[in-house]
Structure 1
Amino acid sequence: MTYTLLQGKFVIRYPDLPRQGPEPDGDTVKFLPDTPALVQTLPRRSGAPPDINRRGISVRLEAVDALETHFGATHQEFAGANAARDHLLNRLGFTSVRFFPDLPNKIESADQDTVRGHVLSNGIDANGRMIGFVHAGEHSDPDGSKIFVDEAGVDRSINAELLGIGLAYPAFYTTLPTTLRTHLAQQSITARAKESGLWPRASADRDGAATVTGLDTLQQLVIWPKLFRRIVPYLAAGHTGFDDFDAWLRDDPVNRDDRVFRLDTLEAARLHDIIEGYGDTVRMTVWPEDFVIDPDPTPAPGVR
């Protein structure tokens, strides 16, 4: 598949509004394109327009789901979440990054507020973010070029690196070409087999269920981030166990019960079909690389 090349700057701090600056994490970073008009030409996968302004647009790393440094007022295991974020920032070229003590997701200082880089994108997601493969430095082709991305090309992205060293989970959507998905899946499988990165601490998966007795417990766990993002509002609704989780997911097929295609059975399914919850335990019954997710609809507030 061809991707649109966008040259520009990655941005982690606003010098004039540092306490209102971006909040980069392991799979999302702000980008200021040299040619903002190019963003308007990208496919709108869920119908939502790009959320871009004079300070740029958020880039959601294709194929990658890192542990949440922040999701509303919650978070996932800090060690894994911060490791992915710090690796991404370092690979983009940011150093000496310090966060505000009272605003731990906003950057107080760094060696520089912006660095040159480029994104290869094939669309806009439901939250108005640009989906893409991110790279440090300039690309040799002109801004706006159509670039064919093969396995060797995707390996040059920071996305592939995060999966390959086990700092993030895979999250494959139907917008990702099959050849790239298969290649990136193998990167993640290899990292898991080597027990790299977060994998030794992973739970709520085929290797074993996670025990969740409340939000405090949940925030210490390493689990697939989309599952985490579903459990948080479930607990917030007052549920104290997972006996009702299946019904709760099914009750909202738009914002909770994502449509998926299972690669192991070659069947269309829903999120509830690949999750088991009983009592205070929950787990996924397939690995994240074994299904493909339909692009999210434009979400209700607070839903991802």
Structure 2
Amino acid sequence: MSYTLLRGTFVIRYPDLPRQGPEPDGDTVKFKPDSPALVEGLPRPSGAPPKINGRGISVRLEAIDALETHFNETHQELAGANAGRDRLLELLGFTNVVFFEDQPNKVQSADQDSIRGHVLSNGIDANGRLIGFVYPGEPAEPDGTPVFLDDARVDQSANAVLLTEGHAYPAFYATLPATLRTHLADVSRTARAAKVGLWPRSKADPNGKATVPDLATLQQLVMWPKLFRRLVPFLATGAPDLSGFDAWLRQDPVHRDDPIFLLDRGEHGNLHDVIEAVGHDIQLTVWPEDFIISPDPAPAGVTRNP
């Protein structure tokens, strides 16, 4: 699959509006492309147009899912979430980044408010973000060049480094070519076996259950972030335990119970097929690299591609 090369600038702070600036995390960063028209022309698997303006567009890093620094007024284990965010910013070239004490997700100061870099993208996600692999510095090719992305070049991306160092979980969507998925799955397995980064603290996975009696406990845990993002709104319903989580997922097959393809079984399924929840205990029964997540479908009447 060909990726479009986008030259531009990564942005972490607005000098004129620092308290209204971007909120970078371990898998999302603001990017101001040199040629916005190239972004407008990218495929739209879920039918959503790019949310781009004069300040740029958010890039959702392909193939990884970092711990949440902020999600619906909650967060995951902050030590791991902040470590992933800080490492991403370091890989892109930002230095001496300081966050506001009272707004810990917004940048108060840094040696660079913005820095040159580039993205290899093959589309726009359901939230209007750029899906891509991110790189510091200037590439050899001109803006807009179609690039066949191989293992060697993907390994140079910040995405792959974060997986290698255990700062993020894998999250493989159908937008990711099979060859890259296989390669990055091996990268993640190697990191897990080496027990680097977040892996020694990982819970709710095939190695063992997590006990989640309440939201406060959930926010101290390290687990696959997509599972965390499903648990937060479920717990907000006031459910006394997790026994109803399976039924709650199934009520919404688009925004809760994501369609997946199970690689070991060669079968289509849904998120509930890889989660066990009983009482206050929950776990993934399959490692995240062993299934493919389908992007949100385009609404009826909406064109998937421009």
- Using the TM superposition, give the Cα deviation of residue 72 of structure 1 relative to its aligned residue in structure 2, in angstroms: 1.4
Partner secondary structure for residue 260 of structure 1: strand
Q: 1:295, 1:156 → 2: CA distance?
A: 25
Question: Which runs of 5 or more structure 2 residues have no equivalent in the other structure?
Answer: 300-306
For 2:227, the equivalent position in structure 1 comes to: 227
Instruction: Give the structure-1-normalised TM-score.
Output: 0.97
For 2:266, the equivalent position in structure 1 comes to: 266
Q: 1:202, 1:297 → 2: CA distance?
A: 31
For 1:62, the equivalent position in structure 2 comes to: 62
- Using the TM superposition, give the Cα deviation of residue 198 of structure 1 relative to its aligned residue in structure 2, in angstroms: 0.1
For 1:116, the equivalent position in structure 2 comes to: 116
Partner secondary structure for residue 105 of structure 2: strand
Q: Given the alignment of the two structures, is residue 201 of structure 1 paired with residue 204 of structure 2, yes or no? A: no
Superposed CA deviations along residues 198-251 of structure 1, whole A, max 9, x for unmatched, are 000000000000000100000000000000000000000111211111000001
Q: 1:194, 1:64 → 2: CA distance?
A: 18
Matches within 5 A, 1:89-108: 89-108=89-108
Q: 1:235, 1:242 → 2: CA distance?
A: 8
Please say if residues 127 and 298 of structure 1, whose CA atoms lie closer than 8 Å, have aligned partners that are also in contact: no
Partner secondary structure for residue 104 of structure 1: coil
For 1:86, the equivalent position in structure 2 comes to: 86
Superposed CA deviations along residues 114-133 of structure 1, whole A, max 9, x for unmatched, are 00000000000000000000
CA RMSD of aligned residues (A): 0.9
Q: 1:291, 1:240 → 2: CA distance?
A: 30
For 2:285, the equivalent position in structure 1 comes to: 285
The residue type paired with residue 276 of structure 2 is E
Q: Given the alignment of the two structures, is residue 159 of structure 1 paired with residue 159 of structure 2, yes or no? A: yes
For 2:191, the equivalent position in structure 1 comes to: 191
For 1:127, the equivalent position in structure 2 comes to: 127
Q: 1:245, 1:276 → 2: CA distance?
A: 9
Q: 2:288, 2:273 → 1: CA distance?
A: 13
For 2:304, the equivalent position in structure 1 comes to: none
Partner secondary structure for residue 80 of structure 1: helix
The residue type paired with residue 145 of structure 2 is S
- Using the TM superposition, give the Cα deviation of residue 2 of structure 1 relative to its aligned residue in structure 2, in angstroms: 1.1
For 2:139, the equivalent position in structure 1 comes to: 139
Please say if residues 45 and 298 of structure 2, whose CA atoms lie closer than 8 Å, have aligned partners that are also in contact: no
For 1:34, the equivalent position in structure 2 comes to: 34
Q: 2:269, 2:165 → 1: CA distance?
A: 30
The residue type paired with residue 37 of structure 1 is A
Q: 1:118, 1:254 → 2: CA distance?
A: 31
Question: Measured at CA, do residues 275 and 71 of structure 1 come closer, stay the same or move farther in structure 2, by a change above 3 Å?
Answer: same
Q: 1:17, 1:59 → 2: CA distance?
A: 20
Superposed CA deviations along residues 115-172 of structure 1, whole A, max 9, x for unmatched, are 0000000000000000000000000100000011011111110100100111100000
Instruction: Give the structure-2-normalised TM-score.
Output: 0.97
Q: 1:217, 1:29 → 2: CA distance?
A: 28
- Using the TM superposition, give the Cα deviation of residue 298 of structure 1 relative to its aligned residue in structure 2, in angstroms: 6.8
Question: Measured at CA, do residues 225 and 298 of structure 1 come closer, stay the same or move farther in structure 2, by a change above 3 Å?
Answer: farther
Q: 1:297, 1:69 → 2: CA distance?
A: 27
Q: 1:47, 1:150 → 2: CA distance?
A: 27
For 2:212, the equivalent position in structure 1 comes to: 212
Partner secondary structure for residue 105 of structure 1: coil
- Using the TM superposition, give the Cα deviation of residue 297 of structure 1 relative to its aligned residue in structure 2, in angstroms: 4.2
Superposed CA deviations along residues 243-265 of structure 1, whole A, max 9, x for unmatched, are 11100000111110000000111
Question: Which runs of 5 or more structure 1 residues have no equivalent in the other structure?
Answer: 300-304
The residue type paired with residue 196 of structure 1 is V
Q: 2:45, 2:80 → 1: CA distance?
A: 29
Please say if residues 255 and 297 of structure 1, whose CA atoms lie closer than 8 Å, have aligned partners that are also in contact: no
Partner secondary structure for residue 122 of structure 1: strand
Aligned residues with identical type, % of pairs = 70
Poorly superposed stretches of 4+, deviation over 6 Å: none
- Using the TM superposition, give the Cα deviation of residue 296 of structure 1 relative to its aligned residue in structure 2, in angstroms: 2.4
Q: Given the alignment of the two structures, is residue 252 of structure 1 paired with residue 258 of structure 2, yes or no? A: no
Please say if residues 8 and 116 of structure 1, whose CA atoms lie closer than 8 Å, have aligned partners that are also in contact: yes
For 2:302, the equivalent position in structure 1 comes to: none
Q: 2:297, 2:220 → 1: CA distance?
A: 29
Aligned pair count reads 299
The residue type paired with residue 288 of structure 1 is P
The residue type paired with residue 51 of structure 2 is D
Q: 1:25, 1:211 → 2: CA distance?
A: 26
